[in-house]
Amino acid sequence: MLERSPRHRELQISFRSLAEKILAREGAIVVETGWKNKTGKAPAAAADFLFKRPPENELTVVEAKLSRSRRMEDGLFRNALEELKRHREAKKAKNATLILTAEPTPAQVQEAERQGVTLWGIPQLVPLAIKTPTLAEALADLLRDISTDATHFAETMAYLEAHTARAKARGEGAKLIAELDQSKPGRENHRKFEQMGEKAMRLLFSEQVQRWSVPVLIEDGLNRPTLVVRLLPRHDVWAALSEEFGSRYVAIGFINHAEPAGHGDVLSAARHLHPRARRSIGILVARGGFDQGARRAAVEVLRDQGKLILLVSLQDLKEMLIARDAGDDYHDFFHERASDLMADNQV
């Protein structure tokens, strides 16, 4: 059988879970969730969902198909309808629904109607999702994760984002700055600083990245979580940096020392960058800023290893959050830092 990566299975689970929540939001009572038992190692024995909707309580079988393409191939679409037909006959269900992460063509809509199948593609899911901010947010995040091109679903994601809790919140940057100002330096408070730094980065980079992950890295006997994000840039600065360094990923680290970070901190961060794995860009956030040794190390790493490490002090971070709240562009900060490093020949 076709082997799937853990990430692909994770996306499938996210999509089916989202579909189940949307069904429930529309008044459906899910009586069976066959997708939880699907492993990909054998043909599916049951449909993804079986639900009924009061007061009629007639059964409906549902299949949810994840695709990274905006269009589903006609052959695959017909096969999905055949599979749905088989599940409907097995359960003696009156109705059938096919849910896609794609935009059905007019011909596919007509084919589904001929077979008595309700077809939900992205155009049908969006109006249902925006009724609930958390569902709109989940669908926007899913589309961002499955998009292979920054232009795919761009307008749809923007529309969904406008209906999320994230869009309704105001002054998020100011709230984070208040939390950061109350935090304390030192090793014992490092994890708390990381958590606040992660919140800040998610706020600043929400439209530039596709996926966030936190691998556990072992360094000096300590677990050092570092954010690793997959770039799907919309801003010209990040599109240019991604192309310039051939980097699809950015590693983000945090240092909570009261004193400025130094030469060794930058070299340590550089160990988490791997150009051959297309992870050539790093961001290092330090509470106390950076000394001259750190800046020299960033130039050395760029010159000798082709790794770009952008140095961000806590004050820099707070200024970017202020700019975001005010609607000002803050990405030029990273452009300036990168340009300074590439132009600096003094080591």
Condensed to tens digits (0 to 9), the pLDDT of residues 192-201 reads 998 899 889 9
Torsion of CA 70, 75, 77, 78, to 10 degrees: 160
pLDDT of residue 154: 83
pLDDT at position 5 over 50: yes
Q: What residue ranges define each of the domains in the chain, with the CATH number in brackets? A: 6-165 (3.40.1350.10), 172-343 (3.40.1350.10)
Compare 312 and 69 and report the one with higher pLDDT.
312
Edge-to-edge strand list for the sheet holding 281-286: 209-213, 227-231, 249-255, 281-286, 308-313
Q: Which two tokens stand for residue 116?
A: 């008595």
From 162, 184, 273, 267, select the one nearest 228 (Cα to Cα). Answer: 273
Across the strands, what pairs with 230?
211, 249
pLDDT of residue 74: 92
pLDDT at position 115 over 90: yes
- CA–CA distance, 181 with 175 (Å, rounded to integer): 10
Condensed to tens digits (0 to 9), the pLDDT of residues 76-106 reads 999 999 999 999 999 999 999 999 999 999 9
Average pLDDT over residues 205-234: 68
Across the strands, what pairs with 211?
230
pLDDT of residue 99: 95
pLDDT of residue 79: 94
pLDDT of residue 35: 67
Q: How far is CA 341 from CA 124, 216, 298, 307, in A?
A: 48, 29, 7, 11
- CA–CA distance, 16 with 205 (Å, rounded to integer): 27
Question: Whole-structure pTM over 0.75, yes or no?
Answer: no
Q: Which of 8-12, 29-33, 109-113, 201-205 is predicted with the least confidence, judged by mean pLDDT?
A: 8-12
Q: Which two tokens stand for residue 89?
A: 């006959």
Residues 6 or more apart in contact with residue 90 via CB below 8 angstroms:
46
- CA–CA distance, 5 with 266 (Å, rounded to integer): 33
pLDDT of residue 218: 44
Residues of the chain with pLDDT > 90: what percent? 41
For tokens 């059988």, the residue is 1
